[in-house]
Homo-oligomer: A and B are copies of this chain.
Amino acid sequence: MNEPFIPIILGTARPGRQSQSVAEAVLDVAKQRQVSADLIDVADYPLTATGAASAAKSLDHYRELVAAADGFIIVAPEYNHGYPGELKLLLDSEFAGYSRKPVGIVGVASGRIGGARMIEQLQQVTTALRMVPVLPSVNVTNVTEAVNAQGEFDTTTLGTSLDDMLEELEWYARQLSAVRS
């Protein structure tokens, strides 16, 4: 069987976003495992609600990546206990392609809670999209302290949670891709 394809969705487009450093570090870790991984940056796609077209890539491209995926990782900050609006706009632009595919969520926060409340809301959304939310989630706390001057995120601050999440995500990705019609 081929390696499962697990795109990593970077779920914020805000200038100065530190989730980018986290997403790139997660991508590096994933690439060292038996999976194929790539980055989907929400900032590259047009925001569907307004039809604004000045984006680097088309929504068709996003939908093709979703269709090809065997599972997903979402890396996103928590804003006011919820998910970023631009992430929701991108997720809402597709439906059928998500079905019966696992999703692991990495919450990013400058505070102590590590995006836990955002993760809970996003689990409800991904369940509605017929994905399988897997645990453990990853909580990035005090992100500012864990990113160095070169913009590199130190994954050792995560303990075993990222590896544990990838392990469970890959198990579901392999099992479900083999039987998903």
Contacts and interface: CB of A to CB of B under 8 A. Distances in A.
Determine the interface band of chain A, counting residues with CB < 8 A from chain B.
35 or more
A43 B48 CA distance: 12
Interface string A146-177: 00000000000000000000000000000110
A12 interface: yes
**Identical copies of this chain, number:** 4
A82 B121 contact: yes
Nearest to A13: B49
In the A-B complex, the 3 residue pairs with the smallest Cβ-Cβ separation, listed nearest first, are: A85-B89, A85-B88, A85-B85
A160 to B, nearest CB: 13
Contact of A127 (B13, B15, B79, B133): B133
